[in-house]
Amino acid sequence: MSSSTKRAITESFIYLASKKPLEKITVRDIVDDCGINRNTFYYHFQDIFAVLEEICLSGTRHIKNDLPVGEMLSDLFLVLSGYVQRHPKAMGHLTASVGVSGTERYFAKGFDSPVFEALVRDTAANEPLLRTATVFLRHAFIGLLIDYINAKGKINADKLAERIAILAQGVSDAAKRRA
């Protein structure tokens, strides 16, 4: 029951985010929409921002850790762009509400560790350089994802994912040469 309740809360949150901006969504709205009580909501989430964080982390759980960094980020972009295609208004409202830095903050927890580990695996570079490369890739990835969301279907996700793969692999190759 617990995971289905948590899923119901996140689905309700996405539904409500498709109707209004994040700052207009309340816990009452969520519990009314999914038919639970406030205590049940607070059992699963500390607040509405914890729901948003869970949604972002669930997206980064699709990272395939065994791939080279370029392919990893390309695959992740395709997963997230598919989510954006299914929930365009919600994603637009959420990114507009939290901005670029907020979006990065929520994604960083699930993004940085697997990307750093892939860079370590793919290169023999020193840790400071790889940490910088990880942050660089996160900034670039989130920026491109937000551009994709704001373009409202005018950017081809497959082509952008290919470009992300090439550029991320270039960062990895540059770090490898530097080592």
Task: Tell me the pLDDT tens digit for each residue of 65-93.
Answer: 889 999 999 999 999 999 999 999 999 99
**151 within domain boundaries:** yes
**28 within domain boundaries:** no
Write down the pLDDT at residue 30: 97
3-state secondary structure the chain: CHHHHHHHHHHHHHHHHCCCCHHHCCHHHHHHHHCCCHHHHHHHCCCHHHHHHHHHHHHHCCCCCCCCHHHHHHHHHHHHHHHHHHCHHHHHHHHHHHHHHHHHHHHHHHHHHHHHHHHHHHCCCCHHHHHHHHHHHHHHHHHHHHHHHHHCCCCCHHHHHHHHHHHHHHHHHHHHHHC
Tell me the pLDDT tens digit for each residue of 19-40: 999 999 999 999 999 999 999 9
Rounded to 5°, the CA angle 141-72-55 comes to 60
**17 within domain boundaries:** no
**119 within domain boundaries:** yes
Tell me the pLDDT tens digit for each residue of 87-97: 999 999 999 99
Domain of residue 120: give its range: 51-178
Which residues lie below 8 Å from residue 102, measured CB to CB, with a gap of 6+? Answer: none
**10 within domain boundaries:** no
Tell me the pLDDT tens digit for each residue of 117-165: 999 988 878 999 999 999 999 999 999 999 999 998 899 999 999 999 9
The model carries a pTM of 0.89
**90 within domain boundaries:** yes
CA–CA separation, 115 and 138 (whole Å): 9
End-to-end, the C-alpha distance of the chain in Å comes to 50
**58 within domain boundaries:** yes
In this structure, the number of other CB atoms found within 10 A of the CB of residue 80 comes to 23
Which residues lie below 8 Å from residue 14, measured CB to CB, with a gap of 6+? Answer: 55, 87, 90
Q: How many CA atoms lie within 13 A of 1 on its CB side?
A: 3
Number of compact structural domains in the chain: 1
User: For residues 93 and 21, is the Cβ–Cβ distance under 8 A?
Assistant: yes
**122 within domain boundaries:** yes
pLDDT beyond 50 at 1: no
